[in-house]
Structure 1
Amino acid sequence: MSRQITVIGGGFAGLTAAISSAEAGATVTLYEAHRTLGGRARTAEGPYHVNEGPHALYNRGPHWSWLKRRDLIKPLAPLPLREAASLRFHHHGALRRLPPLGILKLRARKDAPVDTDFLSWAGSLVGEPTARAAAYYTGVATFHHDPGQLSAAFVQERLRRTTSLPPEAHYIRGGWGELIARMARYALALGVRIETGARVDALPEDRPVIIATHLDSARALLGGGLPPAPGAAAPAVPGGDTPPAPAGTGSLSWSSARTVLIDLAVRTRRGDPFALSGLDFSGWVERFTAQDPSLAPKGEQLIQGQIGIAPHERRADGIARAERLLDAGFPAWRERTTWRRESLAIGRTGAVDPPGTTWRDRPAIDRGNGVYLAGDQVAAPGVLSEVSFTSALEASSLALASSYSPHSFAA
C-alpha cells in the first residue's frame, strides 16, 4: 500500500511537495483554501496580467533544472538585449547608467561574515556611502527597507546573485500563473488529488502532512498541539518586523519585511527603461512588458514595483518613494496611466536573516509527529522562491521516509 501524504497549500511550495511525493509513489491529496492555486505566484486575469509583486526565476537556482527536466519552464519571455541595456539606477537623486564601481568589489567577496551587519562589513571595504547603495540595491531580492542592518552573509549572497553576468533572472511568459498551471496539470497527471476552495482549519489526523503555507497559517493549524521539533526554536530578533510567535507554537516565527507593491499600466512611450533600481532607498520598479508584451493590451506597458518600508512607516511613505523612481525614469507617467493598483505586503516577502543567524536558525521543516513545513520562511537555503522549493523537496523526502503511526500520536 502506498504512503498517503496530505499537502496543505497550493502555492509553489505545495505543488512542488505534491509532485515530488507523487513521483515517489505516494498517494497525495492537496488542499488549497482559495478557489485558485498559486499563493503569491498567482497572476491576475487580463487585461493586465500582474503578479503579486515583481517575479523572476533565477536560472542558477536548484529549481531551474528540476522544472526543466519536467518540461515545466517554457515558454519563457526573453528580455531583448536593447531592453536589458536600459536598466537604470537612481542614485543621489539622479538617474544613472551604472552603479558605484565599489558594488562590483563587494559582489566578488566570498568572506562576508554571518555575525556582522552588511553595512558595517561592506563599509569597512568600500566606504559607507557605497556600502549603503549596495545594500539598497539588494532590496530587489530582500524586500527589506534597510538591508544594511541584516547579516552580511545573507545580503552579500543576494548581491552576488542579482548582479551576476549574464543575468540569472528569467521570466515566465504570461506570468507565474502559467508556471503554476503547468505544475498543476503535471501533478494531476501523476494522480495528485487537488481540492481548491478547501480551507483546513485543524491539523488533519491523516499523516504525514506537509504544511506549505505562510507561517501565520501554520501557527493557526499547529496551535499548541505539537511540541517544537528538536532545534526548531528561532532566536529572538530585536526590532524584527514579524512579532514573536505565541507561546506553545514551536517558535513558528521569523523576521520578514513590509513592502508596498505598486502596479501601473501606462501608454507606451519610446525610451522608457526596462527597470529602475533605487540606490538612495530600497526600491525597484520594472516594466514587465519589456520582455512579455502579452501582459498588457497593445499600446500599453505594465510596470510593477516594490518598495520596502520600516515597521513604523505608512503605505503612503512607500508610495511616495515609488513615485520618486517613476518621476525619474518614466516621463509623464501620470498623464499616461490607464490603470493603477497599490497594496501592502506584511510578512509575505520571505525570510530575512539578522546578524548572527542563517537559514539554519529559521523554523525547522520537521515539526515532529509526521508534520512538516515548507515555504519561504523556513530552514532551507536559497534566494527568493528557491527557499520554498528546497524546503518542499526536503519536506517531501522526510514525509516519504516517516515512520509515523497514528497509533503512536497522542493529540
Structure 2
Amino acid sequence: MHRITVIGGGFAGLTAAIAAAEAGAKVTVHEAHHTLGGRARTAEGPYRTNDGPHALYNGGPHWTWLRQRDLIGPLAPLPPLEAARLRLRHHGALRRTPPFAMLKLLRRAARQAPVDVDFRTWATEQAGEEGARAAAHYSAVALFHHDPGSLSAAFVQERLRRATRLPPEAHYPRGGWANTIDRMAARAWNLGVRVETLSRADTLPTDTPVIVATTLDAARRLLGDDSLAWPSGRTALIDVAVRTRRGDAFAVSDLDAPGWLERFTAQDRTLAPAGEQLIQGQIPIGPHESRADGIARAEQLLDLGFEGWRERVTWRRESTANGRTGAVDPPGTGWRDRPAIDRGDGVYLVGDQVAAPGVLSEVSFTSALAAVSLALGRQPRDLGGATLDLKRA
C-alpha cells in the first residue's frame, strides 16, 4: 500500500488527501492550526466571514469532482432582484451599466489576448484607453491585484471572461466555506485518512512521498528553496455588519480603481443575525500603500452604495491579505512558468501559486490531483473523475 504524507489541511491538502485515499493510499495530514481549512476557514460566531469571498466557479474541473462526492452542500442562491442591484462606480458616480468601450472586450468574438503583452497595452488597442482601464479594474474581483493592467493580457482576459459570464459562474456554499471544508474532512475521515491538527511540520519525512499544501512562503522555508517565489496580490479587507436598509446595493465594482464591495447576506442570510447585513470590501493595495489607504477607498464605495452605513454599523473587522490571493502572471509568463509541482525526491508542491491551470481555487484543486497522480506513479489525468492533462492544458 502506498503511504503519502500531506502537510497542510486547507482546500488543496484535503483534495490531495481524498484523491490519494480513494486511490488506495494510506494518508496522513499534518495541519499546524487547531482546525482544518486554511484560507477557506469561516469565522465562528454571529458574523460568518471568510478570508476573502472564496467563490466556487462552476466552470472548472473541481466543480464536477466536488459534486460527485456531495462535498459542496447547499448553495446560497442570489435572488434576481438582488442581482439587479449590482452597481459600477465610473467617473466618481454609480451607474448600472459598464461603459460601452468596456463591452467590446467582453464579446465572445473578442480576439484572444497574447501572453507576452500587458493587458493595458493590448486592451487599449482593442477598446481604447477608457475601456481598457474599466475592464482591468473590474477584473480585480478575481485578481486581488493593485494594477491588473500591468499583468499578462492573456491572464487577465481569462479572469475577466470568467467573472463576467452569464449566468454567473461564481457560487457560494451556504454558511460559508466551512460547510464545504467540513464535508471534505468527513469524506477524508471515512476513507481512513489520519488527520493530525496542531501538528506543525518543521522537517520533511523521508519514508513517504510528501505533498506540501502550504502557502508558497511557508513551503520556501520548509523546503529551504529560495526559488519558490511568484507574484501575488496584496489586498485590504474590510468586513462590516450594518442594520438592514431597503435599497442597499448588492455589490459595487469600482471601475475608477481596483476594488469591490459585496453584500454577502443578499444571497445567504445565515451569515449575520436577523435584521443585519454583512458586507465585505476587498481593495487591492500597492507595495507602498498601507491598509489604511485601502480601507479609505473601501469607505468611499460604502458611502456610494450603502447610504447611512456609518450610523448602521453593528460590527467591523479589518485585515490585510498579503501574498495569499493566488498567483498573478506578469507579461511573458503563464501558469507553466510558476514553481513546479514535482520538486524531486518524492516531494510535491500544491496550492494556488504553482504550475497548474485554473482560476482561484481551481489552481489548488488541479495541482493537488496532479501531485497525487505523480506520487502514485500515474499520469496526471482522469483521476477521480476529473480529467487533467497538464501538458495540453
Q: TM-score, normalised by structure 1?
A: 0.90
Alpha-carbon distance in structure 2 between the residues aligned to 1:16 and 1:305: 29
Alpha-carbon distance in structure 1 between the residues aligned to 2:66 and 2:111: 29
Alpha-carbon distance in structure 2 between the residues aligned to 1:250 and 1:298: 49
Alpha-carbon distance in structure 2 between the residues aligned to 1:179 and 1:73: 5
- Aligned runs of 1:174-189 on 2, under 5 Å? 174-189=175-190
- Give the secondary-structure state (helix, strand or coil) at the position aligned to 2:253: strand
Alpha-carbon distance in structure 2 between the residues aligned to 1:26 and 1:104: 49
Which of 230, 233, 236 is residue 254 of structure 1 equivalent to? 230
Q: Does 1:113 align with 2:114?
A: yes
Q: Does 1:14 align with 2:13?
A: yes
Report the residue type matching 1:173 in the other structure.
Answer: R
Alpha-carbon distance in structure 2 between the residues aligned to 1:284 and 1:176: 20
Residue 397 (structure 1) aligns with: 373
Gaps in structure 1 of 5+ consecutive residues: 224-248, 403-411
Residue 123 (structure 1) aligns with: 124
Residue 214 (structure 2) aligns with: 213
Report the residue type matching 1:261 in the other structure.
Answer: L
Which of 308, 328, 332 is residue 308 of structure 2 equivalent to? 332
Which of 247, 259, 263 is residue 271 of structure 1 equivalent to? 247
Alpha-carbon distance in structure 2 between the residues aligned to 1:198 and 1:95: 49
Alpha-carbon distance in structure 2 between the residues aligned to 1:48 and 1:208: 40
Report the residue type matching 1:219 in the other structure.
Answer: R
Contact 2:73–2:179 (8 Å) recurs in 1: no
Shift of 1:338: 0.4
Contact 2:243–2:275 (8 Å) recurs in 1: yes
Residue 382 (structure 1) aligns with: 358
- Give the secondary-structure state (helix, strand or coil) at the position aligned to 2:327: coil
Report the residue type matching 2:270 in the other structure.
Answer: S
Residue 289 (structure 2) aligns with: 313
Contact 1:6–1:206 (8 Å) recurs in 2: no
Residue 160 (structure 1) aligns with: 161
Count of matched residue positions in the alignment of Structure 1 and Structure 2: 376
Contact 1:259–1:306 (8 Å) recurs in 2: yes
Alpha-carbon distance in structure 1 between the residues aligned to 2:245 and 2:53: 21
Residue 93 (structure 1) aligns with: 92
- Give the secondary-structure state (helix, strand or coil) at the position aligned to 2:376: helix
Alpha-carbon distance in structure 1 between the residues aligned to 2:153 and 2:51: 28
Alpha-carbon distance in structure 2 between the residues aligned to 1:137 and 1:197: 39
Contact 1:267–1:338 (8 Å) recurs in 2: yes
For each residue in 1:59-108, what CA deviation from the matched residue of structure 2 results, as whole angstroms up to 9, or x when unmatched?
A: 11111000000011121111111111111101110001011123232123
Shift of 1:250: 5.6
Which range moved further: 64-73 or 197-206?
A: 197-206
Report the residue type matching 1:328 in the other structure.
Answer: L
Alpha-carbon distance in structure 2 between the residues aligned to 1:59 and 1:382: 12
Residue 28 (structure 2) aligns with: 29
Contact 1:207–1:371 (8 Å) recurs in 2: no
- Give the secondary-structure state (helix, strand or coil) at the position aligned to 1:48: coil
Report the residue type matching 1:92 in the other structure.
Answer: H
The percent of aligned pairs where both chains have the same amino acid is 73
Alpha-carbon distance in structure 1 between the residues aligned to 2:236 and 2:39: 15
Residue 197 (structure 1) aligns with: 198
Alpha-carbon distance in structure 2 between the residues aligned to 1:6 and 1:101: 52
Alpha-carbon distance in structure 2 between the residues aligned to 1:149 and 1:97: 27
Residue 77 (structure 2) aligns with: 78
Alpha-carbon distance in structure 2 between the residues aligned to 1:173 and 1:205: 40
Q: TM-score, normalised by structure 2?
A: 0.94
Contact 2:101–2:130 (8 Å) recurs in 1: no
Gaps in structure 2 of 5+ consecutive residues: 379-393
Shift >3 Å, 4+ stretches: none
Alpha-carbon distance in structure 2 between the residues aligned to 1:83 and 1:389: 31
Contact 2:10–2:213 (8 Å) recurs in 1: yes
Report the residue type matching 1:287 in the other structure.
Answer: R
> What RMSD, in angstroms, separates the aligned Cα atoms of the two structures?
0.9
Residue 381 (structure 2) aligns with: none
Contact 1:118–1:149 (8 Å) recurs in 2: yes
Residue 406 (structure 1) aligns with: none
Alpha-carbon distance in structure 2 between the residues aligned to 1:64 and 1:312: 37
Which of 326, 329, 339 is residue 363 of structure 1 equivalent to? 339
Alpha-carbon distance in structure 1 between the residues aligned to 2:71 and 2:158: 27
Which range moved further: 158-167 or 54-63?
A: 54-63
For each residue in 1:240-279, what CA deviation from the matched residue of structure 2 results, as whole angstroms up to 9, or x when unmatched?
A: xxxxxxxxx1610000011001100000000111111110
- Give the secondary-structure state (helix, strand or coil) at the position aligned to 1:60: coil
- Give the secondary-structure state (helix, strand or coil) at the position aligned to 2:9: coil
Contact 2:335–2:355 (8 Å) recurs in 1: yes
Contact 1:54–1:305 (8 Å) recurs in 2: no
Contact 1:265–1:340 (8 Å) recurs in 2: yes
- Give the secondary-structure state (helix, strand or coil) at the position aligned to 1:177: helix
Contact 2:214–2:351 (8 Å) recurs in 1: yes
